[in-house]
Amino acid sequence: APVPVLTIDGPSGSGKGTISRQVAEHLGWRLLDSGALYRAVGYAAGAAGLDLSDAEAVTRCAQTTKIRFQPSADGSDTRILVNGHDATDELRTETAGAAASAIASIAPVRQALVELQLGFRKAPGLVADGRDMGTVIFPDAPFKVFLTASAAERAKRRYKQLKEKGLNVTLASLQREIEARDHRDASRAVAPLRPAPEAVLVDTTGMDIDQVVAKVLTVVQP
């Protein structure tokens, strides 16, 4: 039988990252953070001084950038190595998110990342977190979830996260960035953000993490 996949798609700040990680832990399945791949390519392109709208140069960068996920020394989290450099902290910034969103609209860049993503599908199962996991990368996944939350709620969550990390941001600017990125992700020609027709929609506005995890687990284990 094919290795089962649970796809979790949705806009930024819907809680996908945290939910996907906890659900994967519960199930004992592997985790694919596909957003980190786009962030890594955006970061590598920026570090190389490329113009992010230069589709050919950024595509070559996507084809050659070495991205590795590696457990930290104490096993408490995953570090992301981009061409051998630990870029985990840089990849979490809003700047990296915006760069990711810009290069993610280039079709051959997305194509360059397909094989890498398919390679995460290993027994006993995979939780795949992203925008197009259920629609493009794993269309045959037996389990699909689409997480949403209001833009105001997502901005609040993001604000809290970034403040805890000591980053200097304002709530209003975050909400504007989130809305702009949503718009770009949903209106782009390639792999626009939209739920797969068979995805279970979960609106997480007003729900806490445990409630969302429990709800998502029922999709896999009814």
For ligand C5P, the binding residues (CB under 6 A) are: 12, 34-35, 38-39, 97, 100-101, 104, 130-132, 181, 185
Q: Cβ closer to ligand C5P: 48 or 190?
A: 190
139 is in an annotated binding site: no
Tokens encoding 148 = 């949403």
Taking the C-alpha atoms of residue 219 and residue 127, their distance in angstroms, rounded to an integer, is: 12
N- to C-terminal Cα separation, the chain: 20
CB of 35 to ligand C5P, least distance (A): 2
Beta carbons of 213 and 23 less than 8 angstroms apart: yes
Taking the C-alpha atoms of residue 11 and residue 45, their distance in angstroms, rounded to an integer, is: 23
14 is in an annotated binding site: yes
CB of 80 to ligand C5P, least distance (A): 11
12 is in an annotated binding site: yes
Q: Which residue is nearest to ligand C5P (CB)?
A: 35
13 is in an annotated binding site: yes
Between vectors from CA 178 to CA 164 and to CA 144, what angle results, nearest 5°?
Answer: 95
CB of 37 to ligand C5P, least distance (A): 7
130 is in an annotated binding site: no
Taking the C-alpha atoms of residue 12 and residue 204, their distance in angstroms, rounded to an integer, is: 12
Q: Cβ closer to ligand C5P: 154 or 222?
A: 154
Beta carbons of 143 and 219 less than 8 angstroms apart: yes
Binding-site annotation, residues:
10-18
Binding-site annotation, residues for ATP:
10-18
